[in-house]
Structure 1
Amino acid sequence: MDKSMIPDLSGKVIAIIAPGNMGAGLATRVRAAGFSVRTLLAGRGEATRMRASQAGMQDASPPDIAACPVILSVVPPGRAHVLARELAPALAAAPVKPLYVDCNAVSPETVKVIAETITATGAAFADAGIIGLPPTADGPLPVIYASGEAAPGLAALNHAGLDIRVLDGPVGAASTLKMCYAGIGKGLTALACAMILAAERAGAGEALHAEMERSQKMLLGRLEGSIPDMFPKAYRWVAEMEEIGGFLDEERPESGIYRGMAGFYDRLAGDFDAQGPEIAALKRFLDKK
């Protein structure tokens, strides 16, 4: 690997954008390892600013972000390329180029487009996928898988409280892993919710629960955790399902499964906001004993 791609972390400062649950959780762990964390708060709401404050994240300008040796992009999929374009002028102007790491749930094709935007500024780029829940101060860490020529340089963050695992593959390999893993986990949640709602509509919810308790006890136990956890996140999973559908190739029938899941999660997100009947039905099913 080109030594210019190895970030200098001696100043113990990195950037994490943005301070959502995952970004703030990662920032908490990095700060516990003695690092300071910069982020972008311009135009963000009070709840986001409060979360950033609680995680000890410092508001910074784009040039200050570009001056960090490592920038972790941790945003909703639809914002991934937008953020790269917004930071590109500051990255191009930076005298010392950072390592820009896209950690978002986007398809391999999308991440390659983002890589082109970043590398055109002279900055190094690594593709990454986060697998696991947002970390708490003393809870388990998610794993950050990274790929691409510059990915080995990211391993230095293992000394900054993170769990980085470098894949032997090009830009796109880490995103492929993320797409496949999310497609299984979040796909199972969507399939289960669709069938539970169908059973509830037809008056068979109680019988379905009883049969799953008898023959699929482990699966039912998993769903009792994963379905309620999905409710406030469903809106974020819409774009992720769309990315997975694109990753699978629109000419393949299975691509349509995930496009359908995107629409399903969008409907559940609206129902959750409105405290509607479908979320209530799912809760009712899971509360059956």
Structure 2
Amino acid sequence: MTKIAIIGAGAMGSGVARRLHDNGCIVPTLLDGRSAATRERAAAAGMEEATLDEIASADLILSIVPPAQAEAVVETLAPVFAQANAPLFCDANALSPETKHRMAARVKELGGRMVDGAIIGFPPADNYDGPRLYVCGDGAGEVAATINPFGLDTRVLEGPLGAASALKMCYGGINKGVMGLVTAMLLAAERHGADEDLLKEMGISMEWLMGRQRGAIPTMYPRAYRWDAEMHEIAGFLAPDDTPAAAIWHGLGDFFTDRARAYEAGEELEGIKALLAR
């Protein structure tokens, strides 16, 4: 049977694992030191706890972790890359092309091969045919051929390593950037007593935008802890050519850090839900 290791058992990692497992794939993972909640989520997704030696016997390794943890995954897998015939490694995290190139060089130095991957869409769920995994670079076709039979839509992009991460930076910058901007202005309107009038005007002139944000913003809060690093990656992606734009996404990174802290403290979420429900 095909064995696709997934490093990371968060919402996306476990969702992808469940999709692969339900379609007949073995999905080993690393769970040493992880919380009871993570272990339960992994088990529910059909993931099997494995050692590094067992990970080394996989046909493919996918990394699906918060962006700030992605480079540490490479170091954790160093003994795997050092083995003869090490499995191909696909980093599917929201990182800039520059970061992916640095990681690929490190993987090569350790003896392995890395493909650039980017996931766009929500975690797999019943009656939802997404998300899409975009891959590029040497070995991208191998990744797609390995994963596609197990129900995860994997698409090969033209271009060298970095093309998938560039797509993700641009898409994520728009999608999550808009969500952050709308949230910031709603919170400001509430602080200044303009919330009722703002919602009325948005309903008249921008209901197309608010229709999506009413559902999306509340789901952002429990995920904001990993969106901050992604925003800073986007800023780094923009910085060489557009420093003012990069500053916007650095600010959004800090904004999401604050939302994560508010969520951890049990603050703000219920208020924003009530605001959006008006």
**Which category describes the TM-score, using the shorter chain as reference length?**
over 0.9
Which residue number corresponds to residue 187 of structure 1?
Answer: 177
2:199 counterpart of 1:226: no
| Whole-angstrom CA distance in 2 between matches of 1:182 and 1:262 | 12
| Whole-angstrom CA distance in 2 between matches of 1:281 and 1:201 | 12
How far did 1:132 drift?
0.3
Asked if the contact 1:147–1:171 (Cα under 8 Å) also holds between the matched residues in 2, the reply is yes
Which residue number corresponds to residue 33 of structure 1?
Answer: 23
Which residue number corresponds to residue 154 of structure 1?
Answer: 143
Mark the runs of 5 or more structure 2 residues left unpaired by the alignment: none
| Whole-angstrom CA distance in 1 between matches of 2:130 and 2:54 | 27
How far did 1:280 drift?
4.1
Asked if the contact 2:68–2:226 (Cα under 8 Å) also holds between the matched residues in 1, the reply is no
- Report SS of the residue matched to 1:136: coil
Calculate percent identity across the aligned residue pairs: 46
User: Which amino acid in 1 is paired with 2:185?
Assistant: M
Which residue number corresponds to residue 110 of structure 2?
Answer: 121
Which residue number corresponds to residue 257 of structure 1?
Answer: 248
Which residue number corresponds to residue 61 of structure 2?
Answer: 71
Which residue number corresponds to residue 155 of structure 2?
Answer: 165
Alignment equivalent of 2:14, drawn from 9, 17, 24: 24
| Whole-angstrom CA distance in 2 between matches of 1:179 and 1:102 | 14
Give CA-to-partner distance per residue, 1:195-217, whole Å, 9 cap, x none.
Answer: 11111111110000011111111
| Whole-angstrom CA distance in 1 between matches of 2:21 and 2:208 | 37
The normalised TM-score by structure 2 is 0.96
| Whole-angstrom CA distance in 2 between matches of 1:279 and 1:69 | 42
Asked if the contact 1:13–1:68 (Cα under 8 Å) also holds between the matched residues in 2, the reply is yes
| Whole-angstrom CA distance in 1 between matches of 2:271 and 2:246 | 28
Which residue number corresponds to residue 7 of structure 1?
Answer: none
Which residue number corresponds to residue 99 of structure 1?
Answer: 88
Which residue number corresponds to residue 134 of structure 1?
Answer: 123
User: Which amino acid in 1 is paired with 2:219?
Assistant: D
How far did 1:45 drift?
0.1
| Whole-angstrom CA distance in 2 between matches of 1:205 and 1:284 | 11
| Whole-angstrom CA distance in 2 between matches of 1:35 and 1:268 | 37
